[in-house]
Structure 1
Amino acid sequence: MNKTIVITGGAIGLGRELTRLYCKRGHHVVICGRTRSALEEVRSAHQNVTAVCADLAAPEGRRHFLEEIHALEIEVDLLIHNAALQFTYDFVKGCVPVERIETELLVNLLSPMELTTDLLPLLKTSGGARVVFISSALARVPKRSAPVYCASKAGLSVFARALRYQLEDTGIRVTDVVPDLIVTRMARGRGDKALSAFEAAGKIIAGLDKGKDEIRLGRVPILYLLHRFVPGLAYKVLKAA
Protein backbone atom coordinates (compact mmCIF):
# COMPACT_ATOMS: atom_id res chain seq x y z
CA MET A 1 0.00 0.00 0.00
CA ASN A 2 1.34 3.42 -0.97
CA LYS A 3 1.96 5.75 1.95
CA THR A 4 2.54 9.45 2.49
CA ILE A 5 5.90 10.20 4.07
CA VAL A 6 7.05 13.62 5.29
CA ILE A 7 10.81 14.16 5.55
CA THR A 8 12.40 17.39 6.72
CA GLY A 9 15.72 18.16 5.07
CA GLY A 10 14.77 15.68 2.37
CA ALA A 11 16.81 17.12 -0.50
CA ILE A 12 20.39 16.58 0.70
CA GLY A 13 22.46 13.96 2.51
CA LEU A 14 20.64 11.33 4.52
CA GLY A 15 17.27 12.94 3.83
CA ARG A 16 17.81 12.72 0.09
CA GLU A 17 18.65 9.02 0.29
CA LEU A 18 15.58 8.35 2.44
CA THR A 19 13.48 10.24 -0.10
CA ARG A 20 14.95 8.31 -3.00
CA LEU A 21 14.44 4.90 -1.41
CA TYR A 22 10.86 5.61 -0.35
CA CYS A 23 10.03 7.01 -3.79
CA LYS A 24 11.46 3.86 -5.33
CA ARG A 25 8.89 1.93 -3.29
CA GLY A 26 6.14 4.04 -4.84
CA HIS A 27 5.30 6.16 -1.81
CA HIS A 28 4.39 9.85 -1.95
CA VAL A 29 7.15 11.78 -0.21
CA VAL A 30 6.75 15.38 0.98
CA ILE A 31 10.07 17.08 1.66
CA CYS A 32 11.27 20.50 2.71
CA GLY A 33 14.59 22.28 2.55
CA ARG A 34 16.18 25.72 2.31
CA THR A 35 17.94 25.28 -1.05
CA ARG A 36 15.54 25.56 -3.97
CA SER A 37 17.98 24.09 -6.49
CA ALA A 38 18.46 20.93 -4.41
CA LEU A 39 14.70 20.57 -4.01
CA GLU A 40 14.13 20.98 -7.75
CA GLU A 41 16.78 18.37 -8.48
CA VAL A 42 15.04 15.81 -6.27
CA ARG A 43 11.61 16.70 -7.59
CA SER A 44 12.75 16.35 -11.21
CA ALA A 45 14.15 12.89 -10.43
CA HIS A 46 11.00 11.60 -8.71
CA GLN A 47 7.45 12.26 -9.88
CA ASN A 48 6.03 11.22 -6.50
CA VAL A 49 7.79 14.00 -4.55
CA THR A 50 6.19 17.19 -3.28
CA ALA A 51 8.98 19.66 -2.49
CA VAL A 52 8.49 22.73 -0.31
CA CYS A 53 11.13 25.43 0.05
CA ALA A 54 11.00 26.42 3.72
CA ASP A 55 13.45 27.52 6.39
CA LEU A 56 12.52 25.65 9.57
CA ALA A 57 14.45 28.16 11.68
CA ALA A 58 11.85 30.80 10.82
CA PRO A 59 8.25 30.74 12.15
CA GLU A 60 6.94 31.64 8.71
CA GLY A 61 8.98 28.83 7.18
CA ARG A 62 7.53 26.23 9.53
CA ARG A 63 4.05 27.63 9.00
CA HIS A 64 4.47 27.54 5.20
CA PHE A 65 5.59 23.92 5.26
CA LEU A 66 2.64 22.91 7.43
CA GLU A 67 0.18 24.81 5.25
CA GLU A 68 1.49 23.03 2.15
CA ILE A 69 1.05 19.64 3.83
CA HIS A 70 -2.50 20.42 4.96
CA ALA A 71 -3.36 21.73 1.47
CA LEU A 72 -2.64 18.26 0.07
CA GLU A 73 -5.57 16.91 2.13
CA ILE A 74 -3.76 13.68 2.93
CA GLU A 75 -3.08 11.41 5.85
CA VAL A 76 0.52 11.24 7.06
CA ASP A 77 1.81 7.71 7.58
CA LEU A 78 5.41 8.50 8.43
CA LEU A 79 6.97 11.72 9.72
CA ILE A 80 10.77 11.79 9.71
CA HIS A 81 12.50 14.68 11.48
CA ASN A 82 15.83 14.69 9.68
CA ALA A 83 16.74 18.38 9.23
CA ALA A 84 19.56 19.54 11.51
CA LEU A 85 22.28 22.14 11.87
CA GLN A 86 25.61 21.88 13.67
CA PHE A 87 27.74 24.90 14.51
CA THR A 88 30.98 25.05 16.46
CA TYR A 89 31.44 27.39 19.43
CA ASP A 90 34.12 28.42 21.87
CA PHE A 91 32.36 29.85 24.92
CA VAL A 92 35.68 30.53 26.64
CA LYS A 93 36.66 33.04 23.97
CA GLY A 94 33.28 34.73 24.26
CA CYS A 95 31.41 36.55 21.51
CA VAL A 96 29.16 33.56 20.95
CA PRO A 97 26.36 34.77 18.63
CA VAL A 98 23.05 34.18 20.39
CA GLU A 99 21.25 34.27 17.06
CA ARG A 100 23.23 31.26 15.88
CA ILE A 101 22.41 29.34 19.07
CA GLU A 102 18.72 30.13 18.59
CA THR A 103 18.80 29.02 14.96
CA GLU A 104 20.42 25.70 15.87
CA LEU A 105 17.89 25.02 18.62
CA LEU A 106 14.97 26.04 16.43
CA VAL A 107 15.89 23.64 13.63
CA ASN A 108 17.13 20.74 15.76
CA LEU A 109 14.65 20.77 18.63
CA LEU A 110 11.75 23.21 18.48
CA SER A 111 10.86 22.50 14.84
CA PRO A 112 10.37 18.72 15.37
CA MET A 113 8.19 19.46 18.41
CA GLU A 114 6.07 22.02 16.55
CA LEU A 115 5.66 19.98 13.37
CA THR A 116 4.73 16.86 15.34
CA THR A 117 2.14 18.77 17.34
CA ASP A 118 0.50 20.21 14.23
CA LEU A 119 0.56 16.98 12.21
CA LEU A 120 -0.73 14.67 14.96
CA PRO A 121 -4.33 14.80 13.64
CA LEU A 122 -3.11 13.63 10.21
CA LEU A 123 -1.01 10.90 11.84
CA LYS A 124 -3.94 9.71 13.96
CA THR A 125 -6.21 9.23 10.95
CA SER A 126 -3.60 7.14 9.15
CA GLY A 127 -3.75 4.09 11.39
CA GLY A 128 -0.37 2.70 12.33
CA ALA A 129 1.55 5.92 11.70
CA ARG A 130 5.06 6.55 13.01
CA VAL A 131 7.12 9.60 14.01
CA VAL A 132 10.88 9.28 13.56
CA PHE A 133 13.52 11.50 15.16
CA ILE A 134 17.06 11.40 13.76
CA SER A 135 19.09 11.89 16.93
CA SER A 136 22.82 11.40 17.49
CA ALA A 137 25.24 9.45 19.64
CA LEU A 138 26.43 12.90 20.74
CA ALA A 139 23.19 13.19 22.68
CA ARG A 140 24.66 10.72 25.18
CA VAL A 141 28.40 11.28 24.73
CA PRO A 142 28.98 14.92 23.72
CA LYS A 143 31.98 16.46 22.01
CA ARG A 144 33.71 19.68 22.98
CA SER A 145 33.30 21.66 19.78
CA ALA A 146 29.50 21.50 19.33
CA PRO A 147 27.83 21.91 22.74
CA VAL A 148 24.56 23.33 21.39
CA TYR A 149 24.17 20.57 18.83
CA CYS A 150 24.82 17.92 21.48
CA ALA A 151 22.31 19.53 23.85
CA SER A 152 19.67 19.81 21.14
CA LYS A 153 20.03 16.15 20.19
CA ALA A 154 19.88 15.12 23.85
CA GLY A 155 16.65 17.08 24.18
CA LEU A 156 15.30 15.51 20.99
CA SER A 157 16.04 11.99 22.22
CA VAL A 158 14.36 12.63 25.58
CA PHE A 159 11.38 14.21 23.83
CA ALA A 160 11.06 11.17 21.57
CA ARG A 161 10.89 8.80 24.54
CA ALA A 162 8.39 10.94 26.46
CA LEU A 163 6.24 11.32 23.34
CA ARG A 164 6.31 7.55 22.88
CA TYR A 165 4.81 7.19 26.36
CA GLN A 166 2.05 9.68 25.56
CA LEU A 167 1.14 8.06 22.24
CA GLU A 168 1.07 4.47 23.51
CA ASP A 169 -2.71 4.20 23.22
CA THR A 170 -3.11 6.12 19.96
CA GLY A 171 -1.62 3.63 17.51
CA ILE A 172 1.18 6.07 16.63
CA ARG A 173 4.67 4.70 17.19
CA VAL A 174 7.78 6.77 17.87
CA THR A 175 11.31 5.82 16.79
CA ASP A 176 14.59 7.36 17.89
CA VAL A 177 17.33 6.83 15.30
CA VAL A 178 20.89 7.13 16.61
CA PRO A 179 23.31 7.17 13.67
CA ASP A 180 27.03 6.80 13.60
CA LEU A 181 28.91 9.50 11.70
CA ILE A 182 27.38 9.77 8.22
CA VAL A 183 29.10 11.11 5.11
CA THR A 184 27.16 14.37 4.62
CA ARG A 185 28.08 18.03 4.25
CA MET A 186 27.88 18.33 8.04
CA ALA A 187 30.42 15.54 8.58
CA ARG A 188 32.70 16.17 5.62
CA GLY A 189 36.33 15.34 6.43
CA ARG A 190 35.65 14.01 9.92
CA GLY A 191 36.68 10.40 9.50
CA ASP A 192 37.04 7.52 7.07
CA LYS A 193 34.80 5.21 9.12
CA ALA A 194 31.65 7.22 8.50
CA LEU A 195 28.61 5.51 7.02
CA SER A 196 27.52 6.52 3.55
CA ALA A 197 24.15 8.27 3.42
CA PHE A 198 22.88 5.44 1.20
CA GLU A 199 23.94 2.77 3.68
CA ALA A 200 22.50 4.66 6.65
CA ALA A 201 19.17 5.26 4.88
CA GLY A 202 18.88 1.59 4.00
CA LYS A 203 19.51 0.51 7.56
CA ILE A 204 17.02 3.05 8.92
CA ILE A 205 14.28 1.90 6.56
CA ALA A 206 15.00 -1.75 7.38
CA GLY A 207 14.70 -0.96 11.09
CA LEU A 208 11.44 0.92 10.57
CA ASP A 209 10.06 -1.97 8.52
CA LYS A 210 10.69 -4.17 11.55
CA GLY A 211 8.84 -1.72 13.80
CA LYS A 212 11.84 -0.81 15.94
CA ASP A 213 11.43 1.98 18.50
CA GLU A 214 15.19 2.63 18.56
CA ILE A 215 17.65 2.16 15.73
CA ARG A 216 21.37 2.35 16.46
CA LEU A 217 23.66 2.49 13.46
CA GLY A 218 27.32 1.67 12.91
CA ARG A 219 29.50 1.83 16.02
CA VAL A 220 26.81 3.33 18.24
CA PRO A 221 25.99 0.06 20.07
CA ILE A 222 29.69 -0.27 21.01
CA LEU A 223 29.85 3.35 22.15
CA TYR A 224 26.74 2.93 24.30
CA LEU A 225 28.17 -0.24 25.85
CA LEU A 226 31.40 1.61 26.59
CA HIS A 227 29.46 4.51 28.07
CA ARG A 228 27.52 2.15 30.31
CA PHE A 229 30.52 0.37 31.81
CA VAL A 230 33.43 2.82 31.34
CA PRO A 231 31.78 6.24 30.90
CA GLY A 232 35.00 8.17 31.47
CA LEU A 233 36.64 6.42 28.51
CA ALA A 234 33.60 7.00 26.29
CA TYR A 235 33.69 10.72 27.07
CA LYS A 236 37.42 10.82 26.37
CA VAL A 237 37.00 9.11 23.01
CA LEU A 238 34.47 11.64 21.69
CA LYS A 239 35.60 14.75 23.57
CA ALA A 240 37.81 16.03 20.77
CA ALA A 241 35.91 14.43 17.89
Structure 2
Amino acid sequence: MTIVGKHIVLTGGASGLGLELLKQLHNENEISVIARASTGLDNLRRSFDGVHVYEADLADLQSVETAADLLVRSGKKIDVLINNAAVQYTPHFLAEDFRYETIKREIDINFTSVCSLIYLLLPNLLQPNPSMIVNINSGLGLVPKTSSAVYCATKGALNLLSKSLAYQLESTNIEVKQVFLPLLDTAMTKGRGAAKISAGQASAEIIGGMQEPGDTIDVGKVKLLRLILRIAPRLAQTIMKAG
Protein backbone atom coordinates (compact mmCIF):
# COMPACT_ATOMS: atom_id res chain seq x y z
CA MET A 1 0.00 0.00 0.00
CA THR A 2 1.30 3.43 -0.94
CA ILE A 3 0.86 5.70 2.10
CA VAL A 4 -0.42 8.79 0.30
CA GLY A 5 -3.94 10.22 0.45
CA LYS A 6 -4.93 7.87 3.27
CA HIS A 7 -6.95 8.39 6.43
CA ILE A 8 -4.68 7.19 9.23
CA VAL A 9 -5.81 6.70 12.83
CA LEU A 10 -2.88 6.88 15.24
CA THR A 11 -2.86 6.29 19.00
CA GLY A 12 -0.44 8.19 21.20
CA GLY A 13 0.43 10.75 18.54
CA ALA A 14 1.28 13.61 20.91
CA SER A 15 4.81 12.57 21.87
CA GLY A 16 7.69 10.20 21.14
CA LEU A 17 7.39 7.81 18.22
CA GLY A 18 3.75 8.70 17.63
CA LEU A 19 4.57 12.38 17.14
CA GLU A 20 7.38 11.51 14.73
CA LEU A 21 5.04 9.27 12.73
CA LEU A 22 2.53 12.11 12.60
CA LYS A 23 5.18 14.57 11.39
CA GLN A 24 6.25 12.26 8.57
CA LEU A 25 2.73 11.26 7.52
CA HIS A 26 0.86 14.52 7.97
CA ASN A 27 1.65 16.35 4.73
CA GLU A 28 0.30 13.67 2.39
CA ASN A 29 -2.42 12.06 4.52
CA GLU A 30 -5.41 12.81 6.73
CA ILE A 31 -4.60 11.99 10.37
CA SER A 32 -6.85 11.24 13.31
CA VAL A 33 -5.11 11.02 16.68
CA ILE A 34 -6.42 9.21 19.74
CA ALA A 35 -4.53 10.40 22.83
CA ARG A 36 -5.07 11.50 26.40
CA ALA A 37 -5.30 15.16 27.34
CA SER A 38 -1.81 16.62 27.83
CA THR A 39 0.38 19.61 27.05
CA GLY A 40 1.72 17.61 24.11
CA LEU A 41 -1.78 17.18 22.72
CA ASP A 42 -2.43 20.90 23.08
CA ASN A 43 0.79 21.60 21.16
CA LEU A 44 -0.24 19.13 18.48
CA ARG A 45 -3.53 20.96 17.96
CA ARG A 46 -1.68 24.25 17.50
CA SER A 47 1.08 22.87 15.28
CA PHE A 48 -0.71 20.63 12.78
CA ASP A 49 -3.61 21.94 10.74
CA GLY A 50 -6.33 19.48 9.85
CA VAL A 51 -5.47 16.77 12.38
CA HIS A 52 -8.59 15.32 14.00
CA VAL A 53 -8.12 14.81 17.75
CA TYR A 54 -10.12 12.33 19.82
CA GLU A 55 -9.24 12.61 23.49
CA ALA A 56 -9.13 9.29 25.32
CA ASP A 57 -7.16 7.80 28.18
CA LEU A 58 -6.38 4.35 26.80
CA ALA A 59 -6.35 2.99 30.35
CA ASP A 60 -10.04 3.94 30.62
CA LEU A 61 -11.94 1.59 28.32
CA GLN A 62 -15.13 3.66 28.50
CA SER A 63 -13.09 6.60 27.20
CA VAL A 64 -11.72 4.37 24.42
CA GLU A 65 -15.26 3.30 23.47
CA THR A 66 -16.41 6.93 23.30
CA ALA A 67 -13.53 7.94 21.01
CA ALA A 68 -14.08 4.92 18.77
CA ASP A 69 -17.81 5.62 18.57
CA LEU A 70 -17.14 9.20 17.47
CA LEU A 71 -14.79 7.94 14.76
CA VAL A 72 -17.27 5.35 13.51
CA ARG A 73 -20.15 7.84 13.48
CA SER A 74 -18.02 10.31 11.51
CA GLY A 75 -18.51 7.95 8.56
CA LYS A 76 -14.88 8.29 7.51
CA LYS A 77 -13.33 5.13 6.15
CA ILE A 78 -10.07 4.18 7.86
CA ASP A 79 -7.22 3.16 5.60
CA VAL A 80 -4.61 2.59 8.34
CA LEU A 81 -4.94 2.04 12.09
CA ILE A 82 -1.61 2.40 13.91
CA ASN A 83 -1.73 1.12 17.49
CA ASN A 84 1.30 2.93 18.83
CA ALA A 85 0.55 4.09 22.39
CA ALA A 86 2.26 2.21 25.22
CA VAL A 87 3.60 2.66 28.74
CA GLN A 88 6.37 0.81 30.54
CA TYR A 89 6.92 0.52 34.29
CA THR A 90 10.37 -0.83 35.15
CA PRO A 91 10.34 -1.79 38.89
CA HIS A 92 10.62 -5.49 39.72
CA PHE A 93 7.76 -7.14 41.59
CA LEU A 94 10.04 -7.36 44.66
CA ALA A 95 11.09 -3.71 44.52
CA GLU A 96 9.91 -1.30 47.20
CA ASP A 97 8.77 1.17 44.52
CA PHE A 98 6.64 -1.37 42.63
CA ARG A 99 3.07 -0.05 42.47
CA TYR A 100 0.31 -2.62 42.33
CA GLU A 101 -2.08 -0.26 40.52
CA THR A 102 0.24 0.00 37.51
CA ILE A 103 -0.43 -3.63 36.54
CA LYS A 104 -3.93 -2.99 35.22
CA ARG A 105 -3.00 0.36 33.65
CA GLU A 106 -0.08 -1.16 31.73
CA ILE A 107 -2.18 -4.07 30.45
CA ASP A 108 -5.10 -1.85 29.48
CA ILE A 109 -2.99 0.69 27.56
CA ASN A 110 -0.62 -1.78 25.91
CA PHE A 111 -3.02 -4.60 25.10
CA THR A 112 -6.70 -4.32 26.06
CA SER A 113 -7.20 -0.96 24.35
CA VAL A 114 -5.55 -2.34 21.20
CA CYS A 115 -8.00 -5.26 21.08
CA SER A 116 -10.88 -2.88 21.77
CA LEU A 117 -9.97 -0.33 19.11
CA ILE A 118 -9.44 -2.98 16.46
CA TYR A 119 -12.87 -4.46 17.12
CA LEU A 120 -14.70 -1.15 17.50
CA LEU A 121 -13.16 0.40 14.36
CA LEU A 122 -13.67 -2.63 12.11
CA PRO A 123 -16.76 -1.10 10.45
CA ASN A 124 -14.58 1.71 9.07
CA LEU A 125 -11.66 -0.57 8.18
CA LEU A 126 -13.79 -3.08 6.24
CA GLN A 127 -14.21 -1.47 2.83
CA PRO A 128 -13.72 -2.25 -0.87
CA ASN A 129 -10.20 -0.78 -0.87
CA PRO A 130 -7.17 -2.26 0.94
CA SER A 131 -6.69 -1.17 4.54
CA MET A 132 -4.12 -1.96 7.20
CA ILE A 133 -3.73 -2.49 10.95
CA VAL A 134 -0.21 -1.75 12.20
CA ASN A 135 0.60 -2.87 15.74
CA ILE A 136 3.75 -1.30 17.20
CA ASN A 137 5.58 -3.98 19.16
CA SER A 138 9.05 -4.35 20.66
CA GLY A 139 11.93 -6.79 20.54
CA LEU A 140 10.72 -7.62 24.05
CA GLY A 141 7.67 -9.19 22.42
CA LEU A 142 10.07 -11.83 21.07
CA VAL A 143 12.37 -12.26 24.08
CA PRO A 144 11.75 -10.69 27.52
CA LYS A 145 14.18 -8.88 29.81
CA THR A 146 14.39 -9.02 33.60
CA SER A 147 12.74 -5.69 34.36
CA SER A 148 9.35 -4.53 33.06
CA ALA A 149 7.77 -7.98 33.35
CA VAL A 150 4.22 -6.75 32.71
CA TYR A 151 5.37 -4.70 29.71
CA CYS A 152 7.14 -7.73 28.25
CA ALA A 153 4.00 -9.83 28.79
CA THR A 154 1.79 -7.29 27.01
CA LYS A 155 4.16 -7.20 24.05
CA GLY A 156 4.28 -11.00 23.90
CA ALA A 157 0.48 -11.01 23.91
CA LEU A 158 0.41 -8.36 21.16
CA ASN A 159 2.65 -10.58 19.04
CA LEU A 160 0.26 -13.53 19.26
CA LEU A 161 -2.80 -11.33 18.84
CA SER A 162 -1.38 -9.87 15.64
CA LYS A 163 -0.64 -13.30 14.18
CA SER A 164 -4.05 -14.73 15.04
CA LEU A 165 -5.82 -11.58 13.84
CA ALA A 166 -4.02 -11.85 10.50
CA TYR A 167 -5.43 -15.38 10.12
CA GLN A 168 -8.94 -14.14 10.92
CA LEU A 169 -8.78 -11.26 8.45
CA GLU A 170 -6.91 -12.94 5.59
CA SER A 171 -10.10 -13.19 3.49
CA THR A 172 -10.89 -9.49 3.97
CA ASN A 173 -9.39 -6.26 2.64
CA ILE A 174 -7.46 -5.73 5.91
CA GLU A 175 -3.74 -6.49 6.14
CA VAL A 176 -2.17 -6.86 9.60
CA LYS A 177 1.43 -5.75 10.09
CA GLN A 178 3.55 -5.79 13.21
CA VAL A 179 6.50 -3.51 13.96
CA PHE A 180 9.28 -4.75 16.26
CA LEU A 181 11.30 -1.89 17.74
CA PRO A 182 14.71 -1.73 19.41
CA LEU A 183 15.36 0.76 22.21
CA LEU A 184 14.32 4.22 21.01
CA ASP A 185 15.53 7.56 22.26
CA THR A 186 12.25 8.87 23.72
CA ALA A 187 11.01 10.22 27.03
CA MET A 188 9.87 6.71 28.01
CA THR A 189 13.46 5.39 27.84
CA LYS A 190 15.20 8.40 29.39
CA GLY A 191 18.10 7.25 31.57
CA ARG A 192 17.94 3.68 30.30
CA GLY A 193 20.14 1.84 27.85
CA ALA A 194 22.64 2.94 25.24
CA ALA A 195 22.97 2.94 21.45
CA LYS A 196 19.38 4.05 21.05
CA ILE A 197 18.01 5.02 17.66
CA SER A 198 15.98 8.17 17.14
CA ALA A 199 12.22 8.14 16.87
CA GLY A 200 12.62 9.87 13.52
CA GLN A 201 14.76 7.06 12.12
CA ALA A 202 12.36 4.43 13.47
CA SER A 203 9.38 6.26 11.93
CA ALA A 204 11.02 6.36 8.52
CA GLU A 205 11.71 2.61 8.67
CA ILE A 206 8.14 1.91 9.78
CA ILE A 207 6.57 3.97 6.99
CA GLY A 208 8.86 2.34 4.45
CA GLY A 209 7.93 -1.11 5.74
CA MET A 210 4.22 -0.33 5.61
CA GLN A 211 4.58 0.10 1.86
CA GLU A 212 6.44 -3.18 1.34
CA PRO A 213 5.18 -6.80 1.32
CA GLY A 214 5.35 -8.82 4.53
CA ASP A 215 3.63 -8.92 7.88
CA THR A 216 6.59 -7.85 10.05
CA ILE A 217 8.74 -4.73 10.10
CA ASP A 218 11.95 -5.24 12.08
CA VAL A 219 13.57 -1.92 12.97
CA GLY A 220 17.28 -1.45 13.73
CA LYS A 221 18.91 -4.10 15.93
CA VAL A 222 15.79 -6.25 15.98
CA LYS A 223 16.99 -7.70 12.69
CA LEU A 224 20.08 -9.01 14.50
CA LEU A 225 18.00 -10.20 17.48
CA ARG A 226 15.78 -12.24 15.18
CA LEU A 227 18.84 -13.84 13.55
CA ILE A 228 20.36 -14.76 16.93
CA LEU A 229 17.01 -16.07 18.12
CA ARG A 230 16.84 -18.36 15.12
CA ILE A 231 20.38 -19.80 15.32
CA ALA A 232 21.12 -19.54 19.06
CA PRO A 233 17.92 -18.98 21.07
CA ARG A 234 19.60 -19.42 24.46
CA LEU A 235 22.13 -16.72 23.59
CA ALA A 236 19.29 -14.39 22.61
CA GLN A 237 17.63 -15.02 25.96
CA THR A 238 20.89 -14.32 27.83
CA ILE A 239 21.45 -11.05 25.94
CA MET A 240 17.91 -9.82 26.46
CA LYS A 241 17.73 -10.91 30.11
CA ALA A 242 20.36 -8.31 30.95
CA GLY A 243 18.87 -5.67 28.64
TM-score by length of structure 1 reads 0.94
1:162 to 158, 164, 172: 164
* Cα offsets for 1:51-101 (capped at 9, x unmatched): 122101012221222123124220000000000010123223588544211
1:72 to 74, 77, 94: 74
* 2:230 is aligned with 1:223: no
> Residue 152 of structure 1: CA displacement?
0.3
CA–CA separation in structure 2 for the residues paired with 1:63 and 1:152: 20
AA matched with 2:131: A
* 2:18 is aligned with 1:18: no
2:144, 2:152 within 8 Å by CA — same for their partners in 1? yes
AA matched with 2:170: E
| Counterpart position of 1:92 | 94
Identical residues among aligned pairs (%): 36
| Counterpart position of 1:176 | 178
CA–CA separation in structure 2 for the residues paired with 1:101 and 1:192: 27
2:79, 2:125 within 8 Å by CA — same for their partners in 1? yes
CA–CA separation in structure 2 for the residues paired with 1:48 and 1:18: 16
CA–CA separation in structure 1 for the residues paired with 2:43 and 2:97: 38
2:92, 2:98 within 8 Å by CA — same for their partners in 1? yes
Aligned length: 240
| Counterpart position of 1:62 | 64
| Counterpart position of 1:44 | 46
| Counterpart position of 2:204 | 202
CA–CA separation in structure 1 for the residues paired with 2:191 and 2:128: 41
SS at match of 2:101: helix
SS at match of 1:177: strand
* 2:6 is aligned with 1:3: yes
Unaligned runs of 5+ in 1: none
AA matched with 2:183: L
CA–CA separation in structure 2 for the residues paired with 1:109 and 1:63: 15
Aligned pair in 2 of structure 1 residues 173, 102: CA closer, same or farther (>3 Å)? Answer: same
After TM superposition, which residue ranges in structure 1, 4 or more long, deviate above 6 angstroms? none
TM-score by length of structure 2 reads 0.93
Q: CA RMSD in A?
A: 1.6
CA–CA separation in structure 2 for the residues paired with 1:235 and 1:169: 36
CA–CA separation in structure 2 for the residues paired with 1:76 and 1:66: 12
> Residue 170 of structure 1: CA displacement?
0.4
